[in-house]
Amino acid sequence: MTKVLGNAAVFTLGCRLNQADSALICDRLKSDGWEIVRPEYSGRIDLLIINTCTVTAAASRKSRQAARRFRSKHQEACILVTGCSAEIENSAWSKEEAVDIILTNPEKKKINSLVKDFLQKKTISTGHTFSIDQPLEIFKEKVGGNFPFKSRAFLKVQEGCNNFCTYCIVPYARGPERSRDWDEVITDFKQFIENGFKEIVLTGVNICAYNDRGGTLNELIDTLCAIPGDFRIRLSSTEPHPNNMDLLKTMAENPKVCRFLHLSLQHGSDEILKAMGRKYTTVEFARFIKEARRLIPGIHLGTDVIVGFPGETEEHFEQEIEFVRKMNFSNIHIFTYSRREKTPAATMPDQVPGNIANERRLRLVKIAGTMKTDFVKSQLGKTLPVLFERKNKNAYFQGWSDNYINFICDDSAIKKHVITQVKAIEITDDNSIRGQVLSSDFPLE
C-alpha cells in the first residue's frame, strides 16, 4: 500500500486548459501517495498548489490574492505556484512571501520530484522559492488526469500558440504550438469513458491547430466518436479561421459532439482586428457563423470580445456593437483591454483611458445579456439532452444541455451523471431553464 504523504489541494484559475493541467497534477500527486482534498477543505492541508493565470492583469492579481489567502488560512502548508503567471511573472513571484515553490509550465511534469526535494532539503517557511531552468520538452503526457470533484473530464490535446496576436501574452507563457501524441489521446479518452465520465472536453490553447503525424482535429473527433459508449464530446475555445469550415461538417455528422462552439471574435472592426494581428475579417467570421447555424440547428455560439484596444475610437466601438448584434451570439465574454508587458500592443499609441473602456464594456454587457436571454428562450418547448451534475441550494437537480444551457429540474427519478432527455418548460430569472424529464435514454449511436 502506498504511504500517504499528506493532504494536497489544487486551486485553479483561468481557462479550461488550466483545468486539464490541474487534473494532470492531481493524477501525479495521487499516484505518488498524496490524498487529494478540495482547496476549501477546513482541515490540515500539507501541500497547496495554485495553478495561476495571467491572461489579464486582473487574473494575475487574483492569483497573488489566492496565494496570500491560502497562506493566511494554512500557515503550515507548502504553497506552490505554477501556470502562466508563474511563467511570465517569475521575478514578481520570487518576492511573494506567501509562496514556497515556483514552477514554470514545463516544470509541472516534474512536480512530484521537485516537491519531494523541497520537503526533504528545505525548511518550509514563507519567503523561500525554489525553481529550475528547463528547456521545452516534447509534448507527451503519460497520464490522463484525475478529476476528483468533477463530473466532466478535460482532455488536453494541444499546447502552445504561434499566432502572437499583438495583445496576447499566451504564446510567451505556453510556448509554440505542439500537438499531443495521437495514441495517448485515444488511450486517455477511453480511460475517461471507463471511469464513468459522460462528457469529455477537448482542450488546448488552439485545438484547431491539432496535427499529430498528419492526423487533424477533424480526424481525431471522428475516431473518438466511433468509440462505443454513452458519452458526448465538447470542444473548448476554437480560433475562427476560414480554413476551419470542415470542422462544422465534422460536428454536424457526429451526434456525440455537443452543439457548442466558442469562437474568439475579439473585435467587430476590421481595422482593429488587423491591429490585433488576427487572421480573419468580419466578413469571413460572419460566413463561418452563418454556416454553423445552417449545418447545426440550435448550436450555442459564444465568443470573446475586447473593448478599449489601443487606437479604438468611438466609431470602431460602434462597428463592434453593430457586428456583435448582427452575429446574435448565445454568450459573450467581454474583456477590457489589459496591457501586458512584452506584447506589441503595450507600446502602441492612443491607449484608451480606463474610464472610457469600462463605459464601453458596460454597454456591451447589456447587449450580451439580451442576446443570452433570446437564445435561451429560443429553446423553450424543445427536448434537449441534459447531463445532470449536482443539486443546487434549493435541492433542484442542475445540469447542462449539449448546447450549454443550464437546466434545473425537481424530479426524484433523475440520476446524476446520466444524459437525460428533458423538455424545456420555462425560463428562470437567471437565464436557466426549468425542465421536465422525458427519458433517461439518449440515443447516441
Contact 276, 165 (CB under 8 A): yes
The Cβ-side half-sphere exposure at 212, using a 13 Å CA radius, reads 19
Q: How far apart are CA 21 and CA 11, in angstroms?
A: 11
- % of the chain beyond a pLDDT of 90: 64
pLDDT of residue 45: 92
Query: In this structure, how many other beta carbons lie within 10 angstroms of the beta carbon of residue 134?
Result: 13
Around Cβ 445, how many Cβ atoms within 10 Å? 8
CB contact at 8 A, 106 and 87: no
CB 320 within 8 A of CB 327: no
Encode pLDDT of 255-307 as tens digits. 999 999 999 999 999 999 999 999 999 999 999 999 999 999 999 999 999 99
pTM metric for this prediction: 0.81
φ, ψ of residue 281 to 5 degrees: the values are: -110, 170
In this structure, of 74-78, 223-227, 228-232, the range with the lowest mean pLDDT score is: 74-78
Q: Where are the beta strands (DSSP E) in 178-259?
A: 178-179, 199-203, 211-212, 215-216, 232-235
What is the H or E stretch that residue 217 is in? Answer: helix 217-225
Where are the alpha helices (H) located in 42-100, listed in sequence order? 57-73, 84-88, 90-93
Integer angstrom CA distances of residue 211 from 16, 94, 217 = 20, 37, 7
Average model confidence (pLDDT) for the chain?
A: 88
pLDDT tens profile 144-190 = 555 554 568 999 999 999 999 999 999 988 889 999 999 999 999 99
Q: Domains along the chain?
A: 6-121 (3.40.50.2300), 151-248 (3.30.750.210), 259-377 (3.30.750.200), 383-439 (2.40.50.140)
Residues 59 and 379: their CA atoms lie apart, in Å, by 34
**pLDDT score recorded for residue 134:** 33
How far is C-alpha 438 from the chain's CA centre? Answer: 31
**Residue 262 and residue 133: Cα distance in Å, rounded?**
35
The pLDDT score that the predictor gives to residue 2 is 56
Q: Confidence class of residue 121 from pLDDT cuts 50, 70 and 90?
A: low
Residue at grid coordinates 443539486: 391
Beginning with the edge strand found earlier in the chain, give each strand of the sheet holding 199-203 in spatial order.
153-156, 199-203, 232-235
Q: Given a cut of 60, is residue 1 above it in pLDDT?
A: no
Q: What SS3 string covers 113-164?
A: HHHHHHHHHCCCCCCCCCCCCCCCCCCCCCCCCCCCCCCCEEEECEECCCCC
CA nearest to 158, candidates 183, 180, 136: 180
**Cα–Cα distance measured from residue 100 to residue 71, given in angstroms and rounded to the nearest whole number:** 10
What sign results for the dihedral spanned by CA atoms 155, 231, 182, 32? positive
Specify the amino acid at residue 415. Answer: K
The pLDDT confidence band at residue 4, using thresholds 50, 70 and 90, is: confident
